[in-house]
Structures are given as structure tokens and as C-alpha cells.
Structure 1
């Protein structure tokens, strides 16, 4: 198998995996947004307060419940969702192009390969930033839920503990942890796609440079003086013998 076909096949596999990873970002974030009624749990701040149980449940006694002072900015959740959606759409489109090139036995032009490298590097930085934001925001929410790890349960166990909020918190850890892991996988796949795109650009550049040099190699084999690579100089017309008068 030729090198360019191997690169195309690897790029197709990377695009297919990025589509799956992007879906594993979008779906959990959408489920979490629906459970939290459109509010973003990332970077939310709050505290625990002990009140009479009769005010909340109508039963005697006291209980502790979480009070959210301020919900996180919606842009934090929307940014991660945007990166996941873009990865799914771009991966599907580029995967189809790679399959088309594999079937047609050709590759992108040099300019198109350069644009692919540029796009991959830009989205790599975007996905990396979204991964850091999601991880930091999720950690901040876990600190709020566990009261800075002073509660007798972990963040994973807190989704089964009643927090007495007006949102459904029964699956928040499952949704956000899955989205977090998937988004880091998306970042790793964008890194792989950037490397593969650069290798395809390098291979296309070598092919463009090799083509004009074939004439020079032919001249070397024939024992002639080689001409410049890229533009072969036209042969000189034969000298006309002088006629003696």
C-alpha cells in the first residue's frame, strides 16, 4: 500500500473516531442541560445550610441542603457542546472526503492540504481550551457539592444524595464525567488529525517537487547536462555549418 493511501486510511479512522467522541460530548451535555433546566453546573458557587425539615419536607427534625448562590456561566457549557457538535459535523464531512479520495486514488491539492492543517491546528487549540474549562468547572461544582470534601461522600456518590434543589441531580456526575473524558479524547484526536494532515501536506509537497525533476533525472541517465528542476530549458537548435565561398 502506498504511503498516501496509508495516510488517507489513518485519517479516515481518526475522523470516524472523532465523530463517535464528539457524540459522547454532545449527548451527555444535552442531558445535563435538560436535567438542570438549562442552567450550567460548571463553576457554580454555593453553600450548605441546615434548616428545619418541616420547611422542606413537612417532617420533624433538621436536615442539610445545598443552596446555590450563583449558577455557572452558560457559555462554559455551550463552548464544550459547540466543540462536540463541530467535531461531529467536520469529522463526518472529512471522513466522507477521505473515503472518496481512497476510492478515486488521489489526494488533496497542496493548497487544500495546507488549509486542512491550519483548520486542524486551530480546532486543536479550541478543543484543548474547552477540555480545560470543562475539567476546572466540573471540579468547582464537585467542591460545592461536597462542601470542599468535608461531606461523608464523594462527588460520584453525591448524585444519589438528595440536594433539595429545583433541578434533577441524579445523573450529573455520570453526564459530566463522560463529557469530560470524551472531550479530552476529542482533543487527542484533533492532535492526531493535525499530525496526519501535516504528513499529507508534506507528501503532497514532495510529489509536486518530484514531478518537475523527472526531466532532469532523465537527462542525467542519458549523459546530458541536467537542466534546472521545475522548468526544462528547450533544446538548442543545431548549429548551421558555415558555407565557404
Structure 2
């Protein structure tokens, strides 16, 4: 298989995987946003307070519950969701485009390949920033829920513990950790796509430069006169024949 078709096939596989990974970011983040009534748990601050259980559950006794002082900025959750949505849409479009090129046996122009490299690098930095933001935000929320690891349960176990909030916290850890893992996979796939885009650009550039020169170079090296009388392209330099 030719190198350009191998690169196209690898790019198609990377785009297909990015669509799946992007969906694994968007769906859990959407479910978490719905469960938290549009609030963002990332970077939320709060504290635990013990009150009379009668006020919360109607039964006598004391109970500890979480008091959220300030919910996290919505942009922290929206950033990760945006990267996931863009990855799904872009991966689907580029995957179909790669299939079209594979079927038609042609590739992007040099300018289009260059733009693809720039776009891949830009989104790579965006997805990396979103991954770090989601990871740090989840760690901050876990510190709040576990009271800086002083509660008798871990962050993963806290989703089964009643926090007595006005939001559904029964699946927050599963949703956010799934989105976190998928977002890091998206970042790795964008890194792969950036490398593949650069290789395709380099290969297209090499083909563009050497394509018109190869027939003339081959004839000159074999000691034959070029078959056509048309002038050589300006970037083609005749290789001198060394006679022994």
C-alpha cells in the first residue's frame, strides 16, 4: 500500500476513535449537568455541618450534611463539553473526507494540509487545557465532598452517601471520571492527528517538489536524452552525469 493511502487510513482510524471518545465526554457531562440542575460541580467550595436531623429528614437526632458555599464556574464544565462536541463533529466530517479521498485516490492540497496541521495543533492545546481543568476541578470537588479526606469514605463512595443537597449526586463520580478519562483520550487522539497531519503535509510537499523532476533525473542518470523538449521546472536541477 502506498504511503499516502496508509496515512489516510491511519487518519480515518484516528477520526473514528475521536468521535467515540468525544461522545464519551459529551454524554456524561450532559447527564451530570442535568442531575446538578445546570450547576457545575468542578471547583465548587463548601463545608460539612452537623444539624438536628428533624430539620432535614423529620426524624430525631443529629446528621451531617454538605453545605455548598459556591458552585463552580459554568465555564469549567462548558469548556470540556465544547471540546467533546467539536471533536465529534470534526471527527465525523474528516472521517467521511478521508473515506472519500481513499475511494478517489487523491489527497489534500498543500495549503489545505497546512491548515489541517494548524487546526489540529490548536485543538490539541485546547483539549489538553480542558483535560487539566476537568481533572483539577474534579479533585477540588472530591476534597469538598470528603472534607479533605477526613470523612470515613472515599470520593467514589460519596456518591452513594446522602449529601442532603438539592441536586442528584448519586452518579456524579462515575459521570465525571468517565468524562475525564475520555477527555484525556481525546487529547491523545488530537496529538496523533497532529502528527499524522504533519506527515501528510511533509509527504505532499515532497511529492509536489520531486514529482516533476523524477522522470528527468531518471533519464539523465541512465545517460538518455530527455524525451520531451519542454524546459525543466525552475526547481528541478539537472544532475550531472559522471563519466568514468
2:55 corresponds to: 55
Structure 1: runs of 5 or more not aligned: 234-245
Where has structure 1 moved over 2 Å in runs of 4 or more? 218-225, 227-233
2:115 corresponds to: 115
Equivalent positions of 1:65-84 (< 5 A) are 65-84=65-84
For 1:232 and 1:80, locate their aligned partners in 2 and report how far apart those are by CA, in whole Å.
Answer: 49
Please tell me whether residue 22 in structure 1 is matched to residue 22 in structure 2. Answer: yes
Q: Report if the CA contact (8 A) 2:209-2:235 is conserved.
A: no
Q: Report if the CA contact (8 A) 1:213-1:230 is conserved.
A: no
CA RMSD, Structure 1 to Structure 2 (Å): 1.6
Q: Report if the CA contact (8 A) 2:32-2:175 is conserved.
A: yes
Q: Report if the CA contact (8 A) 1:124-1:191 is conserved.
A: yes
Q: Report if the CA contact (8 A) 2:7-2:200 is conserved.
A: yes
Structure 1 residue matching 2:60: 3-state secondary structure: coil
2:199 corresponds to: 199
1:88 corresponds to: 88
Normalising by structure 2, report the TM-score.
0.92
Equivalent pairs counted in the alignment come to 232
Structure 1 residue matching 2:212: 3-state secondary structure: helix
2:220 corresponds to: 219
Q: Report if the CA contact (8 A) 2:120-2:194 is conserved.
A: yes
Normalising by structure 1, report the TM-score.
0.91
Shift of 1:221: 2.7
Larger Rg, first or second structure (1 or 2) = 1
Equivalent positions of 1:148-159 (< 5 A) are 148-159=148-159
Shift of 1:230: 3.7
Structure 2 residue matching 1:212: 3-state secondary structure: coil
Most deviating of 49-58 and 208-217: 208-217
Q: Report if the CA contact (8 A) 2:120-2:190 is conserved.
A: yes
Shift of 1:229: 5.4
Structure 2: runs of 5 or more not aligned: 238-244
Cα distance per residue 1:125-155 (max 9 Å; x no partner): 0000000000000000000000000000000
1:36 corresponds to: 36
Q: Report if the CA contact (8 A) 1:31-1:175 is conserved.
A: yes
Structure 2 residue matching 1:150: 3-state secondary structure: coil
Cα distance per residue 1:23-51 (max 9 Å; x no partner): 00000000000000000000000000000
